[in-house]
Amino acid sequence: MKKNRNFIILFVILAIITLVLWLSQSPNTFRRSLSNFKLDDSANVTKIFIGDKNNNSVTLTKIGSGKWMVDDKFPAQKLSVELLLKTMVDIEVSQPVSKAAHDNIIKEMAVNAVKVEIYQQVYRLSLFGRIKWCPHEKLTKVFYVGGATPDNQGCFMLIEHSSEPYIVFLPGFRGFVSPRFSPIEKYWRDYNVFKTQIPEIASVKVEVPETPQYSYLVKNNGNDRFSIFSISDNKPLPGYDTLKLLNFLSGFRNLNYEALINDMDKTRKDSIIASTPFIIITLTDKAGISKTIKTYHKKGPDDQTDPDGRPMPYDLDRLYALVNDGRDFTLIQYYNFDKVLRPLPFFIKESTDK
Strand, helix or coil at 240? strand
> According to the model, what pLDDT value does residue 22 have?
45
Q: What φ, ψ does residue 122 adopt, rounded to 5°?
A: -125, 175
Residue 235's pLDDT is what? 93
Rounded to an integer, what is the distance from CA 26 to the centroid of its chain?
42
What is the mean predicted confidence (pLDDT) over 308-333? 90
Q: What is the pLDDT of residue 349?
A: 84
Domain boundaries, the chain: 30-187, 192-347
pLDDT band at 337 (very low <50, low <70, confident <90, very high): very high
Q: Give the chain's mean pLDDT.
A: 88
Q: Between vectors from CA 95 to CA 94 and to CA 98, what angle results, nearest 5°?
A: 145
Cα-flanking dihedrals φ and ψ of residue 89, to 5°?
-80, -35
**Closest listed residue to residue 215, CA positions, set 234, 227, 230, 203:** 230
Which residue, among 52, 157, 22, 10, has the nearest Cα to 96 in the 3D structure? 157
Cα(209)–Cα(35) distance, integer angstroms: 60
Which helix (H) or strand (E) segment holds residue 21: the answer is helix 2-24
Interval 24-56: pLDDT, tens? 444 444 455 567 899 988 999 999 999 999 999
pLDDT of residue 354: 46
What is the pLDDT, as a whole number, of residue 320? 98
pLDDT digits (tens, 9 = 90+) for 201-258: 999 999 999 999 999 999 999 988 999 999 999 999 988 999 999 999 999 999 999 9
- Determine the length of the chain: 354
State how far the Cα of 303 lies from the Cα of 341, in Å rounded to an integer: 25
Question: In Å, how far from its chain's centre is CA 201?
Answer: 25
Asked whether the predicted pLDDT for residue 346 surpasses 90, the reply is yes
Q: pTM score, two decimals?
A: 0.78
Q: Are 61 and 68 in contact (CB under 8 A)?
A: yes
Range 158-164 average pLDDT? 92
User: Which amino acid type is present at position 2?
Assistant: K
- Residues sharing a CB contact under 8 Å with residue 89, sequence separation 6 or more, in sequence order: 38, 39, 40, 41, 42
Distance CA 206, CA 192 (A): 19
E strands in the chain: 45-51, 57-64, 67-70, 74-75, 92-96, 114-127, 131-148, 155-159, 166-169, 192-194, 201-207, 216-222, 225-230, 255-256, 259-260, 280-285, 290-299, 314-323, 328-333
By mean pLDDT, which of 19-23, 224-228, 291-295 is the weakest?
Answer: 19-23
pLDDT at 353 over 60: no
Question: Could you please report the per-residue DSSP string of 266-290?
Answer: HHHHHHHHHSPPS-EEEEEETTS-E
Q: What is the mean pLDDT of residues 168-188?
A: 93
How high is the pLDDT of residue 14?
A: 55
Burial class (CB in 10 A: 0-12, 13-18, 19+), 113: buried
Q: What is the pLDDT of residues 119-158, one digit of tens each?
A: 999 887 766 566 667 788 999 999 999 999 999 999 999 9
Q: One-letter amino acid identity for 173? A: F
The pLDDT value recorded for residue 13 is: 58
Q: Tell me if residue 108 falls in helix, strand or coil.
A: helix
Query: What digits encode the pLDDT tens for the residues 99-127?
Result: 999 999 999 999 999 999 999 998 877 66
For 278, what's the count of Cα atoms within 13 Å in the CB-facing half-sphere? 21
CA pair distance 166, 157, nearest whole angstrom: 5
Helix (H, G, I), strand (E, B) or coil at 128: coil
Q: Output 58 or 128, whichever has higher pLDDT.
A: 58
Q: Residue 4: its pLDDT value, please?
A: 58
